[in-house]
Chain A
Amino acid sequence: ELKVEQNPLFLSMQEGKNYTIYCNYSTTSDRLYWYRQDPGKSLESLFVLLSNGAVKQEGRLMASLDTKARLSTLHITAAVHDLSATYFCAVDGNSGYALNFGKGTSLLVTP
């Protein structure tokens, strides 16, 4: 069974600070996704990482993938309040159908 672990599960950080969210998964996978979810809302796709060493950046968020270590990171640079949300990583376990999600990281950015 493919397991996906995120840490931390809860993160409170000050505006302007940097931090990294980690996503470990237990078996090989060709695809890793990062999503954002606001309270009561659906999942917004942030990044799709398709190969070892892939790095993608959008605004203050940067995601990377190390398939050998089975690790992805989501780095937040100079956090702002608008980034407050829950962030999920999800791994396609090569089944072609099921996305396996982590439990999510609930991020709160405070002044």
Chain B
Amino acid sequence: ETGVTQSPTHLIKTRGQQVTLRCSSQSGHNTVSWYQQALGQGPQFIFQYYREEENGRGNFPPRFSGLQFPNYSSELNVNALELDDSALYLCASSLDLFTEAFFGQGTRLTVV
């Protein structure tokens, strides 16, 4: 157990819909990163939030957006869902920048 919790664990959405995934970071951690892991692939970095500000972004379109709240929990929002968005979405929290990331159990998103 890493202390990083994600909700929901599973989700089915229809193409074109919007989805919000949530992540509660480990106590004391101020940095949250989100990753997308397609089936049979390694995780791909989406973006990172540090103290409520976006600190870096991977090669994902603007319809992937996020938030970090004052308690350092985070949301990942995806608009206009596409079939290829079906994946395991992983949240990772870190004590600070440049420190080890601890992963949550993930949210399995299926777009039909």
Same complex origin of A and B: yes
Instruction: Name A residues whose Cβ lies closer than 8 Å to a Cβ of B.
Output: 4, 33, 35, 40-45, 48, 88, 90, 92, 95-104
B56 touches A99 (CB 8 A): no
Tell yes or no: B90 within 8 A of A by CB: yes
Instruction: Name B residues whose Cβ lies closer than 8 Å to a Cβ of A.
Output: 33, 35, 41-45, 48, 50, 55-56, 58, 90, 92, 97-98, 100-106, 108
- Nearest A residue to B102 via CB reads A45
* Contact pick for A99, options B45, B55, B104, B106, CB 8 Å: B45
B102 touches A101 (CB 8 A): no
A54 to chain B, nearest CB (A): 14
Instruction: Return chain B residues, CB-CB under 8 Å to A92.
Output: 98
Instruction: Return chain B residues, CB-CB under 8 Å to A88.
Output: 42-43
26 pairs, A vs B, C-beta closer than 8 Å:
A4-B42, A35-B103, A40-B108, A41-B105, A41-B106, A42-B90, A42-B105, A42-B106, A43-B43, A43-B103, A45-B102, A45-B103, A97-B33, A97-B45, A97-B48, A97-B56, A97-B97, A98-B58, A99-B45, A99-B92, A99-B101, A101-B42, A102-B42, A103-B42, A104-B41, A104-B42
Distance A71 CA – B30 CA, assembled complex (angstroms): 31
B100 touches A45 (CB 8 A): yes
* Contact pick for A48, options B90, B97, B100, CB 8 Å: B100
Distance A100 CA – B106 CA, assembled complex (angstroms): 18
B55 touches A33 (CB 8 A): no
Instruction: Return chain A residues, CB-CB under 8 Å to B92.
Output: 99
B108 to chain A, nearest CB (A): 8
The listed residue with most A CB atoms (<10 A of its CB), out of B58, B92, B103, B104, is B103
B107 to chain A, nearest CB (A): 10
Instruction: Return chain B residues, CB-CB under 8 Å to A45.
Output: 100, 102-103
B100 touches A42 (CB 8 A): no
Distance A103 CA – B97 CA, assembled complex (angstroms): 25
